[in-house]
Structure 1
Amino acid sequence: MSATKRIVVFGGNGFLGSRICRAAVARNWDVTSVSRSGRPNWLSITSSPTPPNWSHSVSWERGDIFRPTQWTSLLYGADYVVHSLGILLEADYKGVISGRESPISGLARAFSASKGAGAANPLERVREQGAPEPGLEPPSSEAQLTYEMMNRDSAILLAKEAAKEGVKAFGFVSAAAGAPVLPSRYVTTKREAEAVVAREFPEMRGVFFRPPFMYDRSRGATMGVAAVATVGSVVDGLTGGKLGGLLGSMVTKPLKADVVADAVVEALADESVKGPVEVPQLEQLAERAWRKTML
Structure 2
Amino acid sequence: MASFLSLTAVSAPPTPPAFSVRTPFYKSPPTLHFKSHRFAVSCSFAGAGVSDDPRLTPIDVAADVKSERIVVLGGSGLVGSAICKAAVSRGIEVISLNRSGRPTYPGTWVDQVTWIPGDVFYVNWDEVLPGATAVVSTLGGFGSEEQMRKINGEANVVAVNAAKEYGIPKFILISVHDYNLPSFLLSSGYFTGKRKAESEVLSKYPGSGIVLRPGFIYGKRRVDGFELPLDLVGEPAEKILKAVENFTKPLSSLPASDLLLAPPVSIDDVALAAINGLKDDDFFGIFTIDQIKEAAENVRV
Alignment TM-score, normalising by the size of structure 1: 0.70
Q: Which residue of 2 aligns with 1:224?
A: 233
Q: Displacement, 1:14?
A: 0.6
Structure 2 contact 237–264 (Cα < 8 Å) conserved? no
Identity %: 30
Q: Which residue of 2 aligns with 1:192?
A: 196
Residue 59 of structure 1 is matched in structure 2 by: 114
Q: Which residue of 1 aligns with 2:17?
A: none
Q: Give, as a single letter, the amino acid of the residue that structure 2 aligns with 1:264.
A: A
Contact 1:236 1:242 in 2 (8 A): no
* Matches for 1:276-291 after TM superposition, within 5 Å: 276-291=286-301
Match of 1:40 in 2: 103
What's the offset of the Cα at 1:252? Answer: 1.5
Q: Which has the higher helix share?
A: 1
Number of the residue aligned with 1:156: 157
What whole-Å deviation, never above 9, does each CA across 1:181-230 have from its counterpart, x for those lacking one?
Answer: xx63222321221112322x147721111112111145224532554465
Q: How does 1:131-150 map onto structure 2 within 5 Å?
A: 146-150=147-151
Structure 2 length-normalised TM? 0.69
Q: Following TM superposition, by how much is the alpha carbon of 1:176 offset from its aligned partner in structure 2, in angstroms?
A: 1.0
Q: Provide the aligned C-alpha RMSD in A.
A: 2.4
Q: Equivalents in 1 of 2:253, 2:263: separation in Å? A: 11
Match of 1:81 among 130, 135, 159: 135
Which residue number in structure 1 is paired with residue 85 of structure 2? 22
Residue 257 of structure 1: CA displacement?
Answer: 0.4
How far apart, CA to CA, are the structure 2 residues paired with 1:244 and 1:169? Answer: 34
Alignment of 1:93-242 (within 5 A): 110=145, 146-178=147-179, 184=186, 185=188, 186-199=190-203, 201-202=204-205, 205-217=208-220, 218-221=227-230, 223-224=232-233, 227-228=236-237, 230-232=239-241, 234-242=243-251
Contact 1:163 1:204 in 2 (8 A): no
| Structure 1 counterpart of 2:281, one-letter code | E
> What secondary structure does 1:68 align onto?
coil
Aligned equivalent of 2:275? 265
Deviations 1:215-270 (Å, cap 9, x if unpaired)?
11452245325544653454453133305624324411211101210110111221
Are residues 64 and 18 of structure 1, via their aligned partners in 2, closer, same or farther at CA, if it must alter by over 3 Å? same
The aligned length equals: 227
* Pair 288,202 (structure 1): closer, same or farther in 2 beyond 3 Å: closer
- Ranked by relative contact order (alpha carbons within 8 Å, sequence separation 6 or more), the top structure is 1
Higher strand share: 2
Using the alignment, how far apart are the partners of 1:64 and 1:157 within structure 2?
11
Corresponding letter in the other structure for 2:140 = G
Change (3 A) 1:275 1:243: closer
Aligned residues of 1:166 and 1:204 also touching (Cα < 8 A): no
Q: Is the 8 A contact 1:197 1:206 kept in 2?
A: yes
Counterpart amino acid of 1:149?
K
SS at match of 1:239: helix
> Which residue number corresponds to residue 137 of structure 1?
none
